[in-house]
Chain A
Amino acid sequence: MDFTPLFHPKTIAVLGVSLTNDRHPANVIYNKIHLRYPVKVYPVNPRGGQFQRDRVYADIADIPATIDLAVVAARAEFVPDILERCIKSGVGGAVIISGGFAESGRADLQERLVALARTADFPFIGPNCLGIYAPTRFDTFFLPGERLVRPDPGPVAIVSQSGGVLVDQMVKFADQGVGLSLAVSIGNKALIRELDMLDYLSEDPATSVIAFYVEGFDKNEGRRFVQVAASVPKPIIVLKSGKSTEGRRAASSHTASLAGDHKVFSSVLAQHGIVEADNEFEMVSFCESLSCYRQKVLGRVGIITVSGGHGVLVTDICAARGLAVPQLSKDTRQKIQANLSASVQGIASLENPIDLTGSAREDDFVAAANGLSRAPEVDCVILLLLPYSPGISSDLGARLSHVFRREDKPLVAYVPHQEKYRMLIEGFELNNVPVSSSINGAVLMVEALRRCRTC
């Protein structure tokens, strides 16, 4: 099956555009593609007529162009016929937004779609989904553009069974500066499922990190998924819901009782080098970190802070996750000490965490980051920046990013407020150093590198 027309369409037909209800999902989709994306789009409604000065085509076959992608937002009972006409007219693929299939007792309708598509080798996403969001290229979400928080283009692809979770995750990605290559809501996943998306994304040159929100796999489908995932040369992150449901026949067997469904899921994912996120915040931190770095770390963390309290907090979080905060060698401490400014030399603590104190200036941060980046006893560095400290300017992010580029040891930064310190944060993020708005998130970024099989 060729997915190119689905994810790289040049022409789109929106089927089900209403001539009377401008809030119809098909109208929202038509409008946003028509007005905002570099794609030619055609409205289709069996009644024909005019929509906003454009011709409405009564049949997809009437459109005087080859259609790559059909977006179907008509009532469920009409969808099999629509799909058949799409196939006959040589359309490349479809996104079926409409609900009213297996999720509401009409598995028969859904099976007809699958049978038609398989016979014709015709790819479709859905039904009962939001479909595709390809930043700056096109999207099929029936959510008005002004209501969406839109992440920038970037290397992370995310595939979700739930459209709601997907949009929410996109909000968090945008907030934390995680760039998207593609977001796909697969809904009832009647034809195109996680495994198909994994195959496609493993070959997609725009994607270097692949994230999934999974509610559950079919019989033995999880087995095939992890077997394929183990050979994909890109990091894969999975957020699984439904952790509280446990195995059924626990009584007759200790093994059944000890190997609950979620324990099995987590163990098998880890066995195959897939990074499991426990919640949506971990998902964001893992995606951000793995979209910046591919260095394998064992988890020996060097820490730089200007507040003793922060140093203790981050050390506790590292310890709880089994990450080490090793003692620094005398050599490392001497080299850092020699490069500190005179006013800080006498008061800074050069144990790990390094506490530069509130008197620290930018040069002191650079000296400490240089020292830790060259210290063999640590394999990654967490910077806790508190920009209320007057010695810190907005340039510090970019300056510290250069330390990473020179030394090649992963740095992650914690900066407490996204909006107020935007320029400082962009100094890191535009230079490919990840920034978290929580201390825990910064530790998670290190954790992602430790768990990643392809790092």
Chain B
Amino acid sequence: MLNQDMRDIIRRAKKYGWVLEPDAKRLLSLAGIPVPDFRWVATLPEALAAAEDIGYPVVAKIVSAAIVHKSEVNGVAVGLEDADALTDVFKGFSRLEGFAGVLLEPLVSGIELIIGAKIDYQFGPIILLGIGGTGVEIYQDTALRMAPLSDSDVSSMVESLMGAKLLKGYRGAEPIDMPALIGLVHHFSLLVMDLADCIDTIDLNPVKCTGTTCVVVDARIMLADAAIPIELM
């Protein structure tokens, strides 16, 4: 069930048609889905203090209702090593359209997955799991199931990926924390059921998995088009 904080996040996002990344991560976190220890800062002094707190190197991302695709406007800076680097990036971001602050978080590593949702006309909420990263649409190594998912649905999704071997410790690499991944997908499926009436699609891309964690590094929640009545979508 959505609590009041979660409903507020969706309500605030309606005027943009999508949920800003810090809000999306907060929503996921409220639903029990791991996200990095992020801060949403509005000024440079706040940014510098937050980065000290998180510990360098940090990742900085533009927060703007006008910018859905952050990397297309150079709105993502990875691996900032010190205050000088962060200051430069902050000043650059603050000149971008619709600047509404900066999201700061620690650098997360791991195997990249994509976890997504869409509301299908015929079948309603659908969950996607796939090998992520920039090649996601080239390799199309994905599995789809109708939500809500059972535990066996989640394991069969993992098994059906061509890249399943990568997740299980290919060529001596550490296998990913499979219970963490299964738990994440399971919580996500429940959240999507609760959000079914107000979303269009969700991309958690990438989700980074290591031997000990699975964390949602970027999240894009597109809301159902307010101009179109929900029953016609």
Contact = CB atoms under 8 A, between A and B. Distances in A.
B21 to A, nearest CB: 15
A269 to B, nearest CB: 10
A254 B123 contact: no
Interface stretch (B98-106, B124-132, B207-215): B124-132
Nearest to B153: A271
A268 B144 contact: yes
A220 interface: yes
B2 to A, nearest CB: 20
Interface stretch (B4-12, B56-64, B111-119, B178-186): B111-119
Contacts of B120: 222, 259, 261, 264
A62 interface: no
Interface stretch (A94-102, A183-191, A211-219): A211-219
B176 to A, nearest CB: 20
A263 B153 CA distance: 16
B122 A256 contact: no
A264 B116 CA distance: 13
Contacts of A261: 120-122
A267 B145 contact: yes
Contacts, number: 93
B74 interface: no
Nearest to B114: A254
Query: How many interface residues does chain A have, given as a range?
Result: 20 to 34
B117 A255 contact: yes
Interface string A269-304: 001100000000000000000000000000000000
B116 A252 contact: no
A264 B144 contact: yes
A271 B200 CA distance: 22
A217 B126 CA distance: 16
B43 interface: no
A362 B129 CA distance: 52
A257 interface: yes
Interface stretch (B80-88, B135-143, B161-169): B135-143
B162 to A, nearest CB: 13
Contacts of A216: 122
Interface string A243-258: 0000101001111111
A261 B118 CA distance: 11
Given A216-B122, A218-B122, A258-B137, A253 B145 contact: no
B201 A256 contact: yes
A253 B142 CA distance: 14
| Residue in B118, B143, B222 whose Cβ sees the most chain A Cβ within 10 Å | B118
B223 to A, nearest CB: 11
A7 interface: no
Contacts of A85: none
Nearest to B145: A271
Contacts of B142: 258-259
Interface in A77-92: none
Contacts of A256: 118, 200-201
A267 B122 contact: no
Nearest to A216: B122
Nearest to B201: A253
Interface in A340-386: none
A258 B140 contact: yes
A51 interface: no
A226 interface: yes
| Residue in B126, B130, B146, B231 whose Cβ sees the most chain A Cβ within 10 Å | B146
A265 interface: yes
A265 B122 contact: yes
B121 A219 contact: yes
Interface of A: 216-223, 226, 247, 249, 252-259, 261, 263-265, 267-268, 271-272
Given A219-B122, A252-B68, 15 more contacts: A220-B121, A221-B122, A222-B123, A223-B122, A223-B146, A247-B118, A249-B201, A253-B118, A253-B222, A255-B201, A256-B118, A258-B128, A259-B118, A259-B126, A261-B122
